[in-house]
């Protein structure tokens, strides 16, 4: 009986503890349910808010697209695109404006058949129906693409033809005339270097048609007296030409050097030069004298074109500077103040050397015989300065 009473008392003491534990569990469950409900409400609110934002964005974009379509694409009245090919840009723009059209960005392309600045194509094409205000995009000819003409002068026609076959150029007409140059040698060409020509254009040649000449081996005439030169070379039919050499200590009236060298193939009618220091006691027929002309560009506003001409005793003018090899990209070289040019020049009897700046004569050198040159300078006024003598 006593044990039963004790068990009952223990059960009564455990009931409040179990109730407290149940309350904690119910509170935790209720809090979890409330948090879930609040989360669902927030999620629904977030979805509704962004749905409204998305709808608003779509409405704005649709409205903008509708506006662009009405204002730009729909445009004004329908018009027919005029044909502007073959017109220059000014006339093409005028024809488009008459139809209420605008000229778009101009593209250029080389075209050998259509002059520079003329329309070669258009987009949209002529005859298309478009709304007024539309842009028409023309393609305009930039002319033929030009390049410097290659130099084939004094070369064999056979070699020139082989080189043309491997280049961007083609062979034009070939004419032949009697000439002192070896048979088959190109003596003139059209266009002549350094002129420019269309890429892929034709080059015509004028070729020597002289009869075949006898061929010899050039003898060694160095160290021979000058009176033996004529006896040695005359049977070959070549032209001996002496060149004066002013070298102190060199032997007098004796061949010091020769051109061409011994053993070289020479032809009847060729010129053979021999170098000699004359004593004055032995006559030298048409002896050539070598001089060096040095010219320094004076103070000059900017780069200038320098040209040096020679005028021989017969009045024949020849440009000795610049030569074709001196040209840069098909244009003569431009020199600046302080740059110098030194040229070796050969002449017979008398010669005048003229120096020209931008086509204006500024200095002359007069050589006659073995004397010193007579130098004359010319003052030349220019907008930004004066060339001093």
Segment 246-260 mean pLDDT: 89
pLDDT tens by residue, 291-323: 889 999 998 888 999 999 999 887 888 888 988
> Do 221 and 133 share a structural domain?
no
Q: Are 126 and 85 within 8 A, CB to CB? A: yes
pLDDT tens by residue, 78-102: 889 999 998 998 898 889 988 889 8
pLDDT of 269 higher than 60? yes
Segment 142-150 mean pLDDT: 80
> Do 118 and 93 share a structural domain?
yes
In a domain, 259, yes or no: yes
The residue that leads in pLDDT, 180 or 371, is: 371
Segment 54-60 mean pLDDT: 77
pLDDT tens by residue, 4-55: 444 554 555 556 666 666 666 777 777 778 777 777 777 777 777 777 778 7
In a domain, 181, yes or no: yes
pLDDT of the residue at 262: 93
Segment 260-283 mean pLDDT: 85
Segment 110-115 mean pLDDT: 76
The Cβ-side half-sphere exposure at 131, using a 13 Å CA radius, reads 10
Q: What is the mean pLDDT of the chain?
A: 81
In a domain, 284, yes or no: no
pLDDT tens by residue, 200-247: 788 999 998 776 667 889 999 999 998 888 788 878 878 788 888 878
The residue that leads in pLDDT, 353 or 33, is: 353
Q: What percent of the chain shows pLDDT beyond 70?
A: 85
DSSP 328: B
The last residue of one of the domains, among 156, 184, 208, is 208
> Do 191 and 261 share a structural domain?
no
pLDDT of the residue at 237: 77
> Do 349 and 295 share a structural domain?
yes
In a domain, 370, yes or no: yes
Tokens of 345: 């020049």
The last residue of one of the domains, among 110, 141, 172, is 141
Of 46-50, 71-75, 368-372, where does mean pLDDT reach its minimum?
A: 71-75
- Smallest CA-to-CA distance from 182 within 274, 273, 266, 248 is with 266
In a domain, 133, yes or no: yes
> Do 379 and 298 share a structural domain?
yes
Q: Which residues span the domain enclosing 303?
A: 290-387
The last residue of one of the domains, among 176, 208, 240, is 208
**What is the H or E stretch that residue 125 is in?**
none
In a domain, 35, yes or no: no
In a domain, 57, yes or no: no
Number of separate domains in the chain? 4
Claim: this prediction has a pTM higher than 0.95 = no
SS3 (DSSP) at 322: coil
DSSP 335: E
Read off the CATH number of the domain in which 132 is found. 3.30.10.20
Read off the CATH number of the domain in which 383 is found. 2.60.40
The residue that leads in pLDDT, 3 or 336, is: 336
């Amino acid at each position: 009986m006593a044990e039963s009473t004790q068990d009952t008392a223990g059960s009564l003491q455990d009931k409040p503890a179990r109730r407290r534990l149940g309350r904690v569990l119910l509170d935790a469950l209720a809090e979890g349910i409330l948090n879930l409900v609040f989360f669902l409400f927030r999620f629904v609110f977030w979805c509704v808010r962004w749905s409204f934002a998305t709808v608003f964005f779509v409405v704005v974009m649709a409205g903008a697209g509708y506006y662009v379509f009405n204002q730009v694409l729909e445009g004004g009245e329908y018009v027919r695109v005029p044909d502007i090919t073959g017109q220059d840009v000014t006339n093409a723009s005028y024809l488009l404006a008459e139809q209420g059209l605008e000229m778009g960005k101009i593209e250029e392309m080389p075209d050998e058949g259509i002059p520079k600045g003329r329309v070669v194509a258009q987009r949209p094409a002529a005859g298309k129906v478009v709304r007024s205000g539309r842009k028409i995009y023309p393609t305009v000819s930039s002319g033929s693409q030009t390049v410097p003409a290659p130099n084939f002068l004094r070369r064999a026609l056979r070699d020139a033809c082989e080189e043309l076959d491997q280049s961007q150029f083609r062979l034009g007409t070939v004419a032949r005339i009697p000439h002192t140059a070896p048979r088959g040698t190109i003596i003139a060409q059209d266009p002549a270097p350094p002129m420019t020509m269309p890429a892929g254009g034709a080059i015509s040649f004028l070729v020597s048609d002289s009869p075949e000449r006898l061929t010899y081996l050039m003898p060694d005439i160095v160290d021979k007296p000058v009176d033996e030169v004529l006896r040695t070379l005359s049977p070959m039919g070549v032209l001996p030409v002496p060149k004066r050499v002013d070298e102190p200590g060199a032997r007098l009236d004796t061949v010091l050097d020769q051109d061409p060298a011994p053993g070289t193939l020479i032809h009847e009618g060729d010129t053979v030069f021999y170098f000699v220091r004359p004593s004055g006691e032995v006559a030298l027929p048409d002896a050539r004298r070598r001089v060096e002309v040095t010219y320094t560009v004076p103070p000059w506003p900017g780069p200038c074109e320098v040209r040096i001409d020679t005028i021989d005793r017969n009045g024949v003018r020849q440009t000795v500077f610049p030569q074709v090899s001196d040209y840069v990209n098909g244009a003569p070289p431009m020199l600046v103040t302080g740059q110098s040019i030194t040229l070796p020049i050969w002449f017979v009897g008398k010669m005048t050397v003229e120096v020209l700046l931008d086509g204006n004569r500024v200095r002359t050198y007069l050589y006659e015989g073995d004397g010193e040159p007579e130098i004359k300078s010319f003052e030349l006024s220019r907008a930004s300065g004066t060339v001093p003598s």
